[in-house]
Amino acid sequence: MARAVVGNPFENQIPTVSPTAQPVDIYQRGVVKSSPFASLADNLSRLSQKADRAFGNVEKRAAEREFAEGQELYNKTRLAIGDAVREGIIDEGESPYLRKGYRVSQLNVLANKYATDLNVALEAQQLYKNGNPAAAAKFSQDFYNKFVEANDLSGFAPTELAEFLTPTTQKANAAFISSWKTKNISWQREQNYIQLGQEIGAYTDSFNFYTGKDPKAVASNRKVLSDWIQSKVDGAEVNGMDRQKVNKLLVDSLILTAEENKDADLLNLLDDIQVGTGKLGSSIAVRNAVLSSQKRIASALQSEEVAQAKADKAEADAKQDGYESAALIAGFKLLSGDNSGEAMQELEASLADMIGAGNASEAKTWLNFALSMDKQGSEVADNAASAKIFEEIFKDDISRSEAAKILTTAIENGDITKESARSFLSDITRRLEKDGKITPLPILKSGNLASETYDDFIKLVGAKDQYGNPIDQNLINKAKRDFQALYLDWYNSLEVPPSEAANYQKALEISEALTNKYVNQSVENITDQALEAIEISRDPELAAAAEAELAEQIAERQRLQKQNDAGLIKRLANWWSSEANTSAPMPTKN
């Protein structure tokens, strides 16, 4: 038999104590027991809403009834007061209704003025440019306060103000705020585009595009500028701005800048700007605009060159004018007998300048002039030559050089005396214009009354006498010279050029003064008749009167002729009768 094994029966069989506690929920929600008073209050609260409305209606109806009664009473009283005014019991000025009507009218005027002024202020002061609503509200409030201060309202009762002024001012203020908002939004919308255009224009205009004129630098600058414009375009697109307007702004700004700087290369930037799905410069409208702008730029550059050429010519002309003036003065000194040598040096200097400026022919003309001025000329005054030279110099717009040539020729030919040459030079200098031209005298310039008077006088002087004898030419030339001298003296004495009427008047005076001296009386009578005939032919009224007189004379002559004819016939009839009585009777009519 095997031996029993003795061991601890609880070995590894004793359990540990497992936890048994568990959380429990013993929460009890608080309970508010319903109170009869709370229920009563709740019911009363609901009832009070109906009661308020019902009792309010009672009050409202009572007020309406009282108001209607008051209105009726007011109207009755108004009628009674009106009757009293009509009957003279109460003066119009004392009628409370008229007085109130006057005040109401005043308040209406003030209210309308307030609304108008406030609206005008919005436009005139351009308040809509301020985007702050509080500023607009403050302005309207300040405007009201100033309006109240400016217009004394102390004579009005508060109820009158509340009834007739305040509603209108409040409406005007509300309309002002609304109008301000609308205008501000509209203004801001426009300003967005304007500002964008100005920004692009200003940046493009100030951008130093051609730094260093290095092709690489120019290309780099162009890239920078196009990138910047592209960023502005993209930003505008993101912000929801109208693409068409933005594109137009961009095109206009670049075109304007290009035309201002006369730089057509700037227009090529339009081909770098990406808008939408294509390049900005690729549309037909933009290409047309670019083409037109390029033409304008080319035209402007051409005009600039022409203007520069004109300026250069004007500068050269001015220099030549200076040279000629110096030569003229030098010649005048030489003519005056200045032998100091200074005049000759000045002349030589001016001639050298002329040659230096490429005007050799002009220099030759003035050299001849100076040399001739040193000659003595004629010893006896020749009126014919002087009159002819006078007319050549002062008739048309001739230049100083041409005048110098005329004088040179006259001196060298001995046509005029040295004194006459000096006199002519003095007159030329006096009548010299800034452009080197000599101003013509009115009596020599055709197409005015003074010149006609001068011509008539010369014709009168040169007319044949009643016997058909011609007038001595020397006399005519002397008359010319006298006329020319008198007129020129008068003309030179004036500080400002005379009017045409004054010219004519002076020419008439000179003509009358010289007529007695140079014109034969018979010639004058014939001339007067001729002038009268011309005057009649030119005046329709005189011509008509002359025709009427002539017709009357013809009629009278015809009447006399008829009388003569009738007398002759009568005499013949008498003769025939006497002859017939002696032979056979006259046949009678059945």
* Binding interface with another protein (CB under 8 A): 3-4, 6-11, 13-22, 24-29, 31, 33-34, 36, 39-40, 42-43, 46-47, 50-51, 53-54, 57-58, 61, 64-65
Query: 1 vs 380, which CB is nearer to another protein?
Result: 1
Minimum distance from residue 79 beta carbon to another protein (Å) = 24
Q: In whole angstroms, give the CA distance from residue 464 to residue 520.
A: 9
Minimum distance from residue 31 beta carbon to another protein (Å) = 4
Tokens of 505: 């008047």
Minimum distance from residue 8 beta carbon to another protein (Å) = 6
Minimum distance from residue 95 beta carbon to another protein (Å) = 33
* Nearest Cα to Cα of residue 414 among 384, 366, 389, 380: 380
Minimum distance from residue 73 beta carbon to another protein (Å) = 17
Minimum distance from residue 123 beta carbon to another protein (Å) = 51
Query: 70 vs 276, which CB is nearer to another protein?
Result: 70
Please give the distance of CA 497 from its chain centroid, rounded to a whole number: 30
Minimum distance from residue 19 beta carbon to another protein (Å) = 7
Are 290 and 255 a contacting pair, CB within 8 Å? yes
Letter for the amino acid at 474? N
Query: 68 vs 285, which CB is nearer to another protein?
Result: 68
Q: In whole angstroms, give the CA distance from residue 475 to residue 151.
A: 92
Query: 57 vs 563, which CB is nearer to another protein?
Result: 57
Strand partners, 377: 417
Q: In whole angstroms, give the CA distance from residue 184 to residue 191.
A: 10
**Within the chain, how many helices (H) and strands (E) appear?**
18, 2
Query: 49 vs 244, which CB is nearer to another protein?
Result: 49
Q: In whole angstroms, give the CA distance from residue 259 to residue 201.
A: 12
State the DSSP string of 524-535: HHHHHHHHHHHH
Q: In whole angstroms, give the CA distance from residue 402 to residue 369.
A: 10
Query: 17 vs 238, which CB is nearer to another protein?
Result: 17
Could you give the C-alpha distances from 506 to 65, 104, 360, 454, 489, in angstroms and in order?
Answer: 101, 77, 43, 10, 11
Query: 35 vs 582, which CB is nearer to another protein?
Result: 35
Are 439 and 433 a contacting pair, CB within 8 Å? yes
Query: 42 vs 547, which CB is nearer to another protein?
Result: 42
Minimum distance from residue 30 beta carbon to another protein (Å) = 9
